[in-house]
Amino acid sequence: MSSICRPFTVQGKPFFPLGGQSRNSSGYNRAEAETAFKALKLLHGNTLEIPVYWEQVEPEEGTFDWASVDTLLAMARENDVHLVLLWFGTWKNGCMEYAPAWVKRDPERFWRVINPYGNRVWVLSSHCEATRQADEKAFCALLAHLKEQDAQQQTVIAVQIENEPGILGSDRDYGEAAEAMFQSPVPEGVLGLLQGLSSGGIWEAWQEAGGRQAGNWPEVLGARAGELMTAYSIARYIDSLAEAGRAVYDLPLYVNVWLGEAGWRAPGGTYPSGGAVSFALDLWKWATPHIDLIAPDIYIADADGYRAICEAYARPDNPLFVPESAPGSSNAWHMFHAIANTSAIGYHFFAIEHLVGPDGGVNPPAADIVGSFHAVASAIPLLLRYQGTDRIHAVMQLEGQGDQYLDLDGWTGVVRFGYGGVSYAGMDWRHTAADRALFQAPKAPRGRGLIFQESEDTFYLVGAAYRLGLRRKGPASQTMDPTQGDFLRERQAPFISIDEGHFEGDTFVVDRRRNGDERDNGIWVEPDVQVVRVIFAK
């Protein structure tokens, strides 16, 4: 069974949050939020991520207005889904747009970041104690309200603290307090962290600077000192909010990340300096003991880059959670890698509203990603059971790829992508690719999905645009008859049953049995058939 650490629970049971994130302004009122909830239903999702704005809930210092939060709770309950609330406080995408007017109008009290030229940047400084205290007060008030209104229902399963924190517009803060810290000795705890590492971004920066055992930030960490000092300062700031908030209401908390792996990779320029980018992840994890997860916002479309991000953030001390990802079609197959190969414990993509077409149905360009989410939604009981084991396998067709080889327990498998490819590619009357001699098969999307091996002889499949063929491992003379023609050699291994169905709790319920032509040439899947189970004969 799965040994994955899962901070998300509902009524004490593990929960796999699946859905989307609303656009930035969708949480202001019911009318703004309605489309996001409609889209979540079309997606078969169970969780909506939606912001709560400091400027709205505390329009005047010390005066709180929870009407928008209560509206979101009511809408989620009406739609029988859960929420992850995104706290837009000190930071939103490396800036301060969602701070209240009384904060924005008082830079003498609530310090701004100062750039190298002595100018204020539109970012609140993590070195300002007044700002930290004000944000902490508001954040704790939010958690106190959630405890009062939602502790029993558990509509809200987690809260994101800030949004892509860091500094855009400067590599670090050059204000008086920040400069004093920069020239001060690196804290003993950070030095101990460095000495305990043997690889990673901050360890490499330390080695390049000479591996000194003491000194100020530039002496110890060289050219990356400004970014790493900023990371330390912001991480400690946010962890203090988390510690105070959890003392009020102990919900799972996480921080999301604007990745640094794009463009010039310049801190403060192409991404917010001081964020929990992969380079600084060791420091962030050490500095935030009250944060459950550091979660990457993945907008990388190429397969290699996507996989590298998943592997960087999926660590024993940091289960992979994807709170925000690209709404484009590449996500329709990348997500299966994250879930199967790096054991992602939840998955969302940004701007969920775009799924809704003019007629209220699925917007046609979103069909692939909606199909992929339907497949994952139908397999959540299997994910909770088998993630972190060797019994789950990703199917993900890369560009130009025609098939995928699988090495399974007792079996070898070949996944064939697309519709057809053999002399007779039977599906059924519901799918127009059933027979190329009778129907014009549609252009196949990229194949993708998940394969679960429950036991030696039982498999479950979900996904789209692929079919799986399996042969038992062993000498060729025992697994195939070379005298048979192509048609018989392509047929599935002897089986007891192939069933389409769905899960009710942990129980698989059969909806439809396949046999005859519908099982020739492999086990096929499409999102509308939900889960396919095959039990092989001995």
| pLDDT tens, residue by residue, 497-507 | 999 999 999 99
The tokens for 424 are 């007779």
State the helix-helix crossing angle for 303-313 and 331-341, rounded to 10 degrees. 30
CA nearest to 301, candidates 328, 337, 263: 328
CA distance 208 to 331: 37
In this prediction the pTM is: 0.94
356 DSSP β-pair partners:
362
Contacts of 419 (CB under 8 A, 6+ apart): 425, 427, 433, 441, 442, 444, 465
The tokens for 311 are 């592997």
Evaluate whether 132 touches 234 at the Cβ level (below 8 Å): no
Q: How many CB atoms neighbour CB 170 within 10 A?
A: 22
Provide the pLDDT for residue 152. 97
Evaluate whether 171 touches 267 at the Cβ level (below 8 Å): yes
Residues 190/193/197/201 CA torsion (nearest 10 deg)? -40
Evaluate whether 342 touches 320 at the Cβ level (below 8 Å): yes
Burial of 419 (0-12, 13-18, 19+ CB in 10 A): buried
What superfamily does domain 9-169+228-389 belong to in CATH? Glycosidases (3.20.20.80)
CATH architecture, domain defined by 395-536: Sandwich (2.60)
Angstrom CA distances, 450 to 118, 391, 415, 423, stand at: 54, 10, 11, 26
Evaluate whether 222 touches 216 at the Cβ level (below 8 Å): no
Provide the pLDDT for residue 176. 98
Q: How many CB atoms neighbour CB 320 within 10 A?
A: 26
Provide the pLDDT for residue 517. 77
Domain borders along the chain are 9-169+228-389, 395-536
CA distance 538 to 535: 10
Provide the pLDDT for residue 432. 54
Q: How many CB atoms neighbour CB 223 within 10 A?
A: 10
Provide the 8-state DSSP code for 109.
T
Low-confidence ranges of the chain (pLDDT < 50): 422-425, 433-439, 477, 481-489
Provide the pLDDT for residue 297. 97
Angstrom CA distances, 408 to 41, 183, 469, stand at: 35, 56, 12
Evaluate whether 125 touches 166 at the Cβ level (below 8 Å): no
